[in-house]
Chains A and B, each alone.
Chain A
């Protein structure tokens, strides 16, 4: 079998970006949450906020670290595998990525150092400032990178001369038609991710009866946040879809599994779309609803895939199902948030163990929804790299052979598998140790195997003033450390 560098490069790109993307969505949400907790700690002097913040900062550090290293990989992918694309679009993408580095990455990196290690070294206000800067940095970062990405979906403000894109209007290129929607949708997705993870972990601690006061506070904040954000995301997603209908009709046709341009198009609940036969198998749908949603008129016309040649159609089944997974999970999130509100009104939020159990399992759903969303977006763009202007095949590195691509693909899969399993392992350990960390960790440092913890094993007096317990070596007395939980 001939190894096709194009297919392999696409698999590799999809793999490394998906791997990278799951970290940012979490860190963006969590960074804001930490900044919020730091602000509460700064204002109220209630030690609970500081302890929550210190704990979640630890989680943050692990996830952020993985985000950084996988991000460094991303910045070289365009050159190694998509060098023709890089050369053609450098006039726009180059400045975007460079602005991301100088306005966001340096900011995040520098203030992360202060956030993680500087609690004893800078005044409280400066520490809060660092937390805020990290959170701001994550948003600036997504601004630039999503602008770059959106431009590939809805190119604007450029002119193609001799195979090279030249920017004619920076504002039009940066604020291209799909960018505002994508930026907002992704921002909310990040908050949903942070919210559901914190909620799930807090619920788990509550089920175990650990650190009840702090975790109730955290869970309560999250549930209010989710109650607002989950429905907003659905509404926003609807607008996003309408915008896509205008600019990338074939993507919407694939999301709806609609092969022929027609009116009164049904909303399909189930189907197995098939690019070969150009039709769906086992269709189940609600008549007219897709037309109604997309055109706000039951007799509205919805574009079908038959408008373009077979080889210009995206992989329909993939887009179709990924879209259903995302929307399905989105609706589930709304249901959970509303249930939380009802329980709260009835005053049964903390007793309803089934609900807390459910929240635990919800922690994974935002990640699935985010990946599904990106698959819709990116696969729905196929075969275009820059929509309507440059295909995947045109963008590929000319000197790339199948063997080279296979080598790096396998390499990344192996490296990421190792790093990811280790990351998950340490993350679980941080979660397992929980807010009661200091004293417990000292025990972990000995070579004794981990033993199950429960609240009763964990002394409440966990932080003696002036005593700082390092993770290696004996406790050293530094005196005067004013940190509450670290």
Chain B
């Protein structure tokens, strides 16, 4: 296999890992964002129980993203993480609080409200930080000689704040549509009610980002307005998904809103990728510059070919085991 092919395969794998993470941890972070607004504590129990058996696996995709970047594109790992130093810390702190809240909340009685807040606050901060990362990536990084040379807060701009809120809204939407699927009765009614306004918020940010981005970067402008026109199909498909969410919520379908929201995410994500391709550390470095040694990429790929299908298999199986509605009062371990 040629080195360039191998690098392309790896770009695909990392891209796949990232979207897996966004979709899977997205809905459980989203439930956290919605937590304070839930009708009552029973609803919160149901929300938490609906993800308790799987959240750890969902978050493992993030760890894979980190380790995979280190293995395949170490330059990205060693430039982006220092550039986002403070943001990464905030995200990790958020993930810590929401992660332990799963265990602690069920074991608490009088202090339970604290863990409600830890879960909600942690999820919100983590989602915001991840959204800001997306914005920072569109913005680009200041580098010299393959290291980051910018300041500690370069990543925090009005634009990244916008993308931060955008992803928060997006995750909340995933959470709400997940809940439609997993709950019933008044909890489900509530989830149906909040879905349209969340979708409107997402579309609003989506529109603002689309208008703003071409002004930030010439390359992106070229790509969208002069180069290949077929890429307009991506936002069109994203909008179709949005429409489908509205429609299926009105008809009170249970599974479709979640599926369509995933579609919305996937097409938006692809749109983002084609805007920047093949740059992984914009504006300077491409996937070819960032790749690790051929031998290392190959060594890992050989293993992944065998292991990842197994991982996907048993992950799907656990979702199958815990399929169906989650009911109030259903036991924790």
Q: Is there a chain A Cβ closer than 8 Å to B295's Cβ? A: yes
Q: Is there a chain A Cβ closer than 8 Å to B197's Cβ? A: no
Query: Are B100 and A65 neighbours in the complex by a CB distance under 8 Å?
Result: yes
Q: Is there a chain A Cβ closer than 8 Å to B41's Cβ? A: yes
Q: How many of chain A's residues have a CB under 8 angstroms from any CB in B?
A: 87
Q: Which of B109, B149, B304, B321 contacts A114 (CB 8 A)?
A: B321
Q: Is there a chain B Cβ closer than 8 Å to A261's Cβ? A: no
Query: Are B71 and A447 neighbours in the complex by a CB distance under 8 Å?
Result: no
Q: Which of A404, A419, A426 contacts B108 (CB 8 A)?
A: A426
Contacts of A108 in B (CB 8 A): 56
Query: Are A73 and B96 neighbours in the complex by a CB distance under 8 Å?
Result: yes
Q: Is there a chain B Cβ closer than 8 Å to A326's Cβ? A: no
Q: Which of B95, B107, B300 contacts A62 (CB 8 A)?
A: B107
Query: Are B100 and A79 neighbours in the complex by a CB distance under 8 Å?
Result: no
Digitize A346-390: 1 where CB-to-B-CB distance is under 8 Å, 0 elsewhere.
Answer: 000000000000000000000000000000000000000000000
Closest to B144 in A: A398
Q: Is there a chain A Cβ closer than 8 Å to B331's Cβ? A: yes
Q: A73-B92, A116-B53 are in contact. Are A471 and B67 (CB under 8 A)?
A: no
Q: Which of B53, B63, B83, B317 contacts A117 (CB 8 A)?
A: B53
Closest to B147 in A: A398
- Tell me the A379-424 residues at the B interface (CB within 8 Å): 397-401, 403-404, 407-408, 411-412, 415, 419, 422-423
Q: Is there a chain A Cβ closer than 8 Å to B200's Cβ? A: no
- Tell me the A76-119 residues at the B interface (CB within 8 Å): 76, 78-80, 83-84, 86-87, 90-95, 97-103, 105-114, 116-119
Query: Are B72 and A94 neighbours in the complex by a CB distance under 8 Å?
Result: yes
- Tell me the A42-95 residues at the B interface (CB within 8 Å): 57-58, 61-62, 65-66, 68-73, 75-76, 78-80, 83-84, 86-87, 90-95
**Chain B interface: which size bin?**
35 or more
Q: Is there a chain A Cβ closer than 8 Å to B248's Cβ? A: no
Query: Are A95 and B96 neighbours in the complex by a CB distance under 8 Å?
Result: no
Q: Which of A95, A102, A445 contacts B311 (CB 8 A)?
A: A102
Min CB–CB distance B88 → chain A (angstroms)? 6
Considering the chains assembled together, what is the distance between the CA atoms of A446 and B112 in angstroms?
A: 12
Q: Is there a chain A Cβ closer than 8 Å to B146's Cβ? A: yes
Query: Are A121 and B299 neighbours in the complex by a CB distance under 8 Å?
Result: no
Query: Are A106 and B85 neighbours in the complex by a CB distance under 8 Å?
Result: no
Contacts of A338 in B (CB 8 A): none
Considering the chains assembled together, what is the distance between the CA atoms of A170 and B296 in angstroms?
A: 9
Contacts of B62 in A (CB 8 A): 72
> Which of A205-213, A281-289, A472-480 contacts its partner?
A472-480
Considering the chains assembled together, what is the distance between the CA atoms of A224 and B42 in angstroms?
A: 46
Query: Are A398 and B333 neighbours in the complex by a CB distance under 8 Å?
Result: no
Query: Are B82 and A400 neighbours in the complex by a CB distance under 8 Å?
Result: yes
Closest to B64 in A: A101
Query: Are A93 and B333 neighbours in the complex by a CB distance under 8 Å?
Result: no
Q: A78-B70, A103-B307, A447-B109 are in contact. Are A399 and B148 (CB under 8 A)?
A: yes
A-B contact pairs, 7 of them (CB 8 A): A94-B68, A101-B64, A109-B56, A112-B56, A117-B322, A399-B148, A422-B104
